[in-house]
Amino acid sequence: MPRKRSFSRQVSALSLGLLVLPGLAGPRPANARVFDAVKVEGTQFVAKQSILTGCQIAPGVDYTPDDLRAREACLRSAGVFKSVALRPEGRTLVVDVEEIPMRPGSFSLSLAYNTEDNILGALDFQRYNLFPHTFGAFHLALSRDSRALSTALYYSGLQNGWGLGLDTELRHTEYDDQGFKDTRARIGAYIAKRIEGGGRLEAGLGYRSDKMTDASNGASPLLGREAGSTDAPYLRLGYSFATPGADAPNAPGSSLKIETYLWGIGTDHKVAEARLDARSRLPLGTKTDLLLGLHSGAVAALDGGSTRATDRFEIGGDTFRGFSPRGIGPREGGYAVGGNKYFVASVEVQRSIGELWNTPARLGAFVDVGSLWSLDDTDGGRIDDGIKLRSSIGISMTFDVGKVPVSLYVAKPLNKEPGDSVRNFGLTITTRF
């Protein structure tokens, strides 16, 4: 389920109309109280941090009863809450709100260009409260070499932060440098639990059909041997965490996502998979941010088997700038065969450079370092699957042309291996109708 939408504009704008809230200056009356912590309860769509900053509610500040009533009035004026109450619980100030039923969402048709799929058409729909307490989403994307359809439903109406979800996915790829056709169908149900502070646990059970067909002439014999299909149930466990400012420029924030899978339950092709995605943003001033990222994964065949190309990882392109999609790692016959293990670490400094074509623009400089390695079958030693470190350096820029978002980068590999496929330029342009 996507991260909750922020309604910070409605809430934060309120403080502009209240030039001086009580409790901001001057001697404090004897009945003022200081709270060690502030807790927000009852919010579903409005970001908790927007509630606190929009009406100037914070721990460590002394508040009189009049101060608290003024902040309640500030929140009511937002027009998004049915009820608002601020109440002390020991040394904690509880902000208890009930939102007016809302159905925020979006529908869009888009035409995009990127350096992997070239021209990509997409249809997107998402809606909160599609049914009571239910988020729904639909995504369809089509290009010359790939087709993908996914749906999502998530019910959040259970008690104590519990929810239920159902995801489906259909995907087909046949990239020229992939060496085979991959067709995948998946359906999975899961239960989720929100954890205080921004965390979330998930556990799910599903069924996946994975077909690997039509190995290309001249491709690695390994790909030919791995062709076939696996239809079987799977299990997944996940944990994610994100701070309110994880995606906001010039604000500190971090996010972490860990996913584990057990594929092929009940078959002789059982595979365990784990992925990690960690990001952090550290402001270096009013216009400059330091971005840190680490993406890694490992897959292992169980019961003495071997992984297939559809199980293994491929990196490059936007996941490792300076290299083509599927541009690094074990190769044979000019085709990438993937790897069981990978990591990519990135360090980037981004700075706001004002407006470009009347829209805010950001310029960045980055270094990416990583590797993709390890096979169960090296085709008799003919495939080198050792860990080989690669690195690249480059610059990035994001801006809009009219209402069309543009993201681009220029990168140069510093360390590469024979057979690696280099791509020095990445571009994404998306227009919505």
More confidently predicted of 102 and 411: 411
% of the chain surpassing 70 pLDDT: 90
160, 41 in Cβ contact below 8 A?
Answer: no
The predicted-structure confidence for 193-235, as pLDDT tens digits, reads as follows 998 777 999 999 999 999 999 888 877 889 888 999 999 999 9
- 334: pLDDT strictly greater than 90: no
Residue 376's closest CA among 408, 413, 339, 343?
339
pLDDT score for 112: 76
Q: What is the mean pLDDT of residues 271-278?
A: 98
Q: What's the pLDDT tens digit per position in 251-267?
A: 788 999 999 999 999 99
**CA 177 → CA 84, 125, 210, 307, 331, distances in Å?**
58, 32, 19, 20, 11
- Residues 16-23 have a mean pLDDT of 41
Average confidence (pLDDT) over 31-49: 81
Mean predicted lDDT score pLDDT of the chain: 86
155 strand-pairing partners: 134, 164
Kind plus residue range of the DSSP H or E element containing 14: helix 14-17
- Rounded Cα distance, 337 and 314, in Å: 8
Mean pLDDT of 356-368: 89
% of the chain surpassing 90 pLDDT = 50
pLDDT in tens, 94-113: 999 988 766 777 888 888 77
Q: What is the pLDDT of residues 123-138, one digit of tens each?
A: 999 998 888 889 999 9
Q: What is the pLDDT of residue 345?
A: 98
Could you give all domains of the chain from N- to C-terminal order, each with its CATH number? 8-99 (3.10.20.310), 105-432 (2.40.160.50)
Q: Indicate the pLDDT class of residue 2, thresholds 50, 70 and 90.
A: very low
Residue 1 above 60 pLDDT?
no
Q: Please give the pLDDT value at position 148.
A: 96
Q: What pLDDT, on a 0 to 100 scale, did the predictor assign at position 232?
A: 97
Nearest to 375 by CA among 317, 292, 299: 299
Query: Going by DSSP bridges, is the β-strand pair 228-242/199-213 parallel, antiparallel, or unpaired?
Result: antiparallel
Among 259, 245, 268, CA closest to 3:
245
Burial of 107 per CB tally in 10 Å (0-12, 13-18, 19+):
exposed
Report the distance separating Cα 230 and Cα 228, nearest Å. Answer: 7
Question: At CA 338, angle to CA 334 and CA 340, rounded to 5?
Answer: 150
From residue 106, give the alpha-carbon distance in Å to each of 3, 126, 128, 165, 352: 14, 5, 9, 20, 28
Query: Phi first, then psi: what are they for 100, rounded to 5°?
Result: -65, 135
Q: Which of 161, 165, 163 is nearest to 151 (CA)?
A: 165
Q: How confident is the model at residue 14 (pLDDT cuts 50, 70, 90)?
A: very low
Q: Give the HSE-up count for residue 324: Cα atoms under 13 Å, Cβ half-sphere.
A: 13
Query: What is the rounded end-to-end Cα distance, in angstroms, of the chain?
Result: 24
In the structure encoding, which two tokens stand for residue 222, read together? 């390994």
Cβ atoms of residues 368 and 395 within 8 Å: no
Taking a C-beta distance cutoff of 8 angstroms, is the pair 208, 184 a contact? yes
Q: How confident is residue 29, by pLDDT bands cut at 50, 70 and 90?
A: low
Which pLDDT belongs to residue 231?
Answer: 95
Taking residues 233-250, what's their average pLDDT?
83
Q: Pseudo-torsion of CA 264, 267, 271, 272, nearest 10°? A: 70
pLDDT the model gives residue 9:
45
